[in-house]
């Protein structure tokens, strides 16, 4: 990539971040609409035209909810960065529902029990940040099959039923579909899964406590501008991409 291409990429990065979650067809339709509007006004398309069009889909949030969402997503972003489980690509609030952190998995990490517990900690980190910074957590971390709590529970359940990490019958394989139903029927299994979730939340809260300033800084920037790149997150955490080392926190 030459210098002019790099400059163009950096210039367009803010718009690219605002477009996260949209398909190429979505962006193409939006640009055509912006061009038509500008043409009718007898002028060229401006940066503000594109930015306003991308911001038009932002969720309408009160100042309090926006702050809570910023803290929640900051928790995810910081714990992903510190554990090294995945590289943060972006963090945003208001653009895609309440908030979102996009990541790229770290394929170089061995998928052992430490990796699994750190991964569950990353999923619980938004709720953990709310509890640490605000003092309470909203219901947004749960309530749906794709929620943080649901995904964390599924990973903890897999550890106990299908990945061989259980201290109880580790060689016995049970499918994920059977396991979900078993949580309601097998009290001991439910207790083991819950214990894993509590341990993972403790990992998340420890990391957040140790990096409280970074969580607050990321949350403040998200509250202010709504979207951040992964590099911006890593800069505030103090962990550039080339020096990130995975956390070896025990499960």
Residue 251 lies in a domain: no
Chain centroid to CA 109: 19
Choice between 250 and 36, residue whose per-residue pLDDT is larger: 36
Residue 164 lies in a domain: yes
Q: Where are the beta strands (DSSP E) in 121-172?
A: none
pTM: 0.79
Q: Kindly report the CA angle at 50 between 47 and 56, in degrees rounded to 5?
A: 135
Give residue for tokens 């529902």. Answer: 97
Residues 200 and 102 in one domain: yes
Q: Is residue 16's pLDDT more than 50?
A: yes
The crossing angle, in degrees rounded to 10, of helices 148-161 and 187-210 is 120
Q: Per-residue confidence at 18, pLDDT binned at 50, 70, 90?
A: low
Q: Per-residue confidence at 221, pLDDT binned at 50, 70, 90?
A: very high
Residues in the chain: 251
Residues 173 and 224 in one domain: yes
The token pair at 75 is: 């928790």
Q: Is residue 1's pLDDT more than 80?
A: no
Residues 22 and 75 in one domain: no
Residue 101: strand pairing partners: 91
Give residue for tokens 């020096």. Answer: 243
Q: Which of 15-19, 96-100, 119-123, 145-149 has the highest mean pLDDT?
A: 119-123
Residue 110 lies in a domain: yes
pLDDT for 243 equals 47
pLDDT for 49 equals 75
Query: Residue 190 belongs to what domain range?
Result: 63-243
Query: Which helix (H) or strand (E) element contains residue 77?
Result: helix 63-83
Q: Per-residue confidence at 22, pLDDT binned at 50, 70, 90?
A: low
């Amino acid at each position: 990539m030459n210098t002019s291409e790099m400059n163009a990429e950096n210039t367009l990065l803010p718009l690219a971040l605002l477009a996260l979650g949209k398909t190429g067809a979505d962006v193409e339709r939006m640009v055509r609409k912006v061009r038509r509007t500008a043409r009718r006004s007898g002028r060229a398309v401006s940066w503000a035209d594109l930015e306003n069009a991308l911001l038009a889909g932002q969720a309408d949030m009160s100042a309090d909810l926006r702050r809570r969402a910023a803290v929640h997503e900051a928790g995810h972003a910081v714990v992903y960065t510190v554990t090294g489980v995945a590289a943060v690509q972006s963090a945003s609030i208001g653009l895609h529902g309440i908030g979102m952190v996009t990541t790229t998995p770290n394929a170089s990490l061995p998928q052992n029990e430490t990796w699994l517990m750190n991964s569950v900690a990353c999923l619980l980190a938004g709720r953990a940040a709310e509890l640490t910074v605000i003092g309470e957590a909203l219901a947004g971390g749960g309530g749906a099959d794709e929620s943080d709590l649901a995904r964390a529970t599924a990973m903890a359940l897999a550890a106990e039923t299908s990945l061989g990490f259980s201290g109880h019958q580790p060689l016995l394989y049970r499918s994920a579909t059977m396991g979900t139903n078993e949580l309601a029927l097998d009290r001991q299994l439910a207790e083991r899964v819950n214990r894993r979730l509590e341990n993972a939340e403790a990992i998340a809260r420890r990391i957040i406590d140790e990096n409280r300033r970074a969580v607050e800084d990321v949350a403040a920037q998200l509250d202010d501008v709504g979207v951040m790149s992964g590099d911006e997150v890593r800069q505030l955490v103090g962990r550039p991409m080339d020096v990130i080392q995975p956390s070896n926190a025990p499960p």
